[in-house]
Structure formats: C-alpha cells, structure tokens
Amino acid sequence: MAEHIQEELDELDESNELYEHYRFVTDPGQKPLRIDKFLVNRVDNASRNKIQDAAAAGNIRVNDVPVKSNYKIKPNEVITIVMSFPRRELKIIAQDIPLDIPYEDDDLIIINKKPGMVVHPGHGNYTDTMVNALAWHLKDVELFNSEDPRPGLVHRIDKDTSGLLVVAKTEQAKNFLARQFFEKTSTRTYVALVWGQPKEDEGTIVGNIGRSLQDRKQMAVFPDGDRGKHAVTHYKVLERLGYVSLVECRLETGRTHQIRAHMKYIGHPLFNDERYGGHQILKGTTFTKYKQFVQNCFKILPRQALHAKTLGFVHPTSKEYIAFNTDIPDDMMEAIEKWRGYIAGREND
C-alpha cells in the first residue's frame, strides 16, 4: 500500500470525515527533528514536497492536532497521516474487457488505450481499468499478480487521453523499459488540438511542473524552478484552423499532465480540457452561430483533445529500436474535420 502514498496525497479533498492511513510513534529518545524529514524517511515513495503539501492541507497530525511541515517532533508522540477517504487494500480483479493491442511478444505488450479508460486502479477507480483488463489478458503471466496495482507499468496517460502505452510482461523487461523512460531515451509524440495559434511554428516549453498552489487537481508551471520537477515539451504546429491549432508535442520528460499544463502556460489550453479551462470558448467571435458550432464540437469530443500517437524505444531482448504509430481516434478526428469545414466556409464567404 505504501506505493500509493503519492497518489493518495494528491487526492485530498475537503470532506469533513477523515481516515487514518499511516501511524508512527516516536521513540522515547527521539531528538528534535522536522516532521517532514521524519516522514520522508518512513513513507515509501513520498517526496518531501508531497509531505509538505499534506501538512499544509492539515492532513499530518501529532497527537491528533494538525501541524506544519516544520514542526519538530519530540519523544513519545503519535504521528498520523489522515485522508478524506478510507484506506483500501487494493487487489487486482481480472476483468474480460476488450483491449486494442497493436503488438505483443514474450517481453511486452503495446496498448492503444481508448479515451475514458483509467490506466490503473486507485481511489475512486478500483475496477474497469486498463490494468484490470490486462490482468485478464495476461492471467498466466507471473508479473501480473493480485497484490501489485501497477504490474508491468512503466508509464501512463490520463483517463481521457487516448493512445499508446507499453506494458512489460517480465521483471527484466520492466526494468529495461523503465530505465529508458527515466533516462529520456524513449520517444513519445502526441497530437493535440489547442485554443489559438502559437506565434512560432515550432518551439520548446521549459518549466518545472508541480501541484498547483491554487487548485490541487491541477498541475502548474513554476518557471523559476522553486517547486515541481524539471519538464520539457517540444511542439510543432501541424495545422492552423482559425481559432484553434493542431499541434504535435514531443515529450522530453514525462510529468503528470505535462502537455496540458505546458500548453496552458503558453496561452494555448487544450480544446475541451475541463481541468485546465479549455472547455470554454477562449477564442473566436461573439456570434450565436459560432458559439453553437463550438458547443457541437465539445459534444463530438467530450474530453481533452490529446492523443498519444507514437511510441518508440529499444526492445529489452533484441536491443533494436522499435516504434509504433496509431491513427487519431474518431472523436478527435471528427472535431478536427468540423474545424476544417468551419475555416473553409469562412474563406468562401
């Protein structure tokens, strides 16, 4: 369960009922020590920033009293981390859910994830995820066991983002692939429909990405590097469609919501990205006919316009570079075609 600490700390809300997730009792001889330093060495996979965020939200307590991250612990104190949802021991339930599998061998499997599918189980999504489907498809593969909520996963994409992921089928493959993602030697390109028209046809966005200080459900860009993690996105305009643009984004790093946060940061939120403000009409006219046109596009594409189109890496066994490409899904393609038609109609007026 310790693997879920970062995910759980990210999902704090304002519910009045709180549940204990972690409890520690300090030793009788405990010397004064900042509580964030104490916890970061005892909770697996929890960064100091995550601990500090949890303290700021009032979710770290000493003797049942909320404390700040700079609180210095003393001997015989009871430290708890509380959440607004009950702790749950996750077990993967194998479910016979159809998957689009462009490629599979003894080492790995490539999934073309459909929009709306959550990648792995977590708070609020314990079934019907891609991992539940994989557990059924790979039920005879040792790596997939009921105790590991993220078996074989070396990267992920958001629920409403479509496109390609690679999943390892052996520990050796998982380690080999994970190293490539960590060292940024894998290649990933996305296509996105964004509001407005970038000034340059090509560009690079550099800016740390971390949890927003105003809205915990959003990631924000911290250009001064005082918070978050280093993030780099390269983009290229593929097509200018009046009030929106079709762009290609190549990830140099892989932070949570990286493209969504970076494109908003430069003034071009993804089309119909509710979390980052793209679900409103951000460019265009005030005419009723135009507003209705955009609303129709939103209905056609009821999610952020983002698709993981290509994926490349060195194969863990053959050591050869392999790459995969997938078509833009129908909902996103239909919205693009409507914008093409809209622009063509304006040019013919």
pLDDT for the residue 213: 84
C-alpha span between 101 and 177 (Å, rounded): 18
Q: State what percent of residues in the chain have pLDDT above 90.
A: 62
- CB–CB of 92/135 below 8 Å? yes
Q: Is the pLDDT of residue 4 over 70?
A: no
pLDDT tens for each residue of 278-290: 999 999 999 999 9
C-alpha span between 173 and 224 (Å, rounded): 37
Indicate yes or no: pTM above 0.85: no
pLDDT for the residue 134: 92
Catalytic hit among 36, 53, 107, 158: 158
C-alpha span between 78 and 122 (Å, rounded): 27
- Residue 6's pLDDT band, with cuts at 50, 70 and 90, is very low
pLDDT tens for each residue of 47-102: 888 888 888 878 899 998 999 999 999 999 999 988 755 565 567 888 999 999 99
pLDDT tens for each residue of 153-185: 888 899 999 999 999 998 889 889 988 988 889
DSSP secondary structure string for all residues of 281-323: --SS---HHHHHHHHHHHHHS-S--EEEEEEEEE-TTT--EEE
Give the ranges where the chain is alpha helix by DSSP (H): 5-10, 35-40, 48-56, 130-137, 171-182, 258-265, 288-300, 330-348
The answer to whether 158 is a known catalytic residue is yes
pLDDT for the residue 265: 97
Instruction: Provide the mean pLDDT of the chain.
Output: 88
Minimum mean pLDDT range among 30-44, 220-234, 306-320: 30-44
